[in-house]
Structure 1
């Protein structure tokens, strides 16, 4: 049953096994099962990307795992996304989706990025670099709370 699953998917399955079924109110998917499914969908969305889009999405995924493991993996409009209490905090929008010059990492109003009367909520990304990763880590930590 676990053959061919990624490390993240195996981790989600192990977490599901440790989680008491929180009930579904009618025989549907449990909360733990939903989280496993959404995590798998997030990974599939990343794996469907190519080139810089995939590199950026993979880095965002790694950064969220390292810096904000309490965020749930999911998709949002078909994009890799990460949520707190069911609400998306940060997401990746690939350049290939809109035939754009750059992909972007966006933060929703659920992100804890408020800084006075004016602050950025979306960042254009052309390529992965050490400088980009350091900035991304700081933003994810702050946004996730």
Structure 2
């Protein structure tokens, strides 16, 4: 019974963490200028659908998604953050994207076409393991 009580408490903490992460990430997205906001909102949907085990959070004020150990797996960086000409969707070393001796860890994103969404979804699934 003690073990089950601990499990229930852990599940409640995880739910509370996910709910807080969702609130935080949605607030960060809402604060972005229009082009970045739309892209970040859609990327949030893609990550949530394709890697539901990743925990939403903010990282340097930007939307990010962490594994069970709290390590950021992937993140979005709005173009407006650094006045860049494109947004960035990237992966940290916790992502399981290893492919030989060299592989991409960040992608410039100017728009989310159907093909881009499909590629990002596949990368997120792979990164989350």
TM-score, structure 1 as length reference: 0.77
Q: Larger helix proportion, structure 1 or 2?
A: 2
| Counterpart-to-counterpart distance in 2, 1:138 and 1:33 | 28
1:116, distance to aligned residue in structure 2 (A): 0.5
Name the residue aligned to 1:42: 25
1:120, distance to aligned residue in structure 2 (A): 0.4
Pick which of 30-39 and 135-144 moved more: 30-39
| Counterpart-to-counterpart distance in 2, 1:108 and 1:52 | 24
| Counterpart-to-counterpart distance in 2, 1:139 and 1:31 | 25
1:47, distance to aligned residue in structure 2 (A): 1.3
Structure 2 regions of 5+ residues with no counterpart? 1-6
Structure 1 regions of 5+ residues with no counterpart? 1-18, 23-29
Matches within 5 A, 1:116-131: 116-131=100-115
1:95, distance to aligned residue in structure 2 (A): 0.5
Aligned residues: 121
TM-score, structure 2 as length reference: 0.86
Matches within 5 A, 1:90-109: 90-109=74-93
| Counterpart-to-counterpart distance in 2, 1:47 and 1:89 | 22
Superposed CA offset, 1:11-40 (max 9, x none): xxxxxxxx8333xxxxxxx55433322221
Cα RMSD of the aligned pairs, angstroms, is 1.7
Runs of 4 or more consecutive aligned structure 1 residues displaced over 4 Å after TM superposition: none
Name the residue aligned to 2:4: none
1:104, distance to aligned residue in structure 2 (A): 0.1
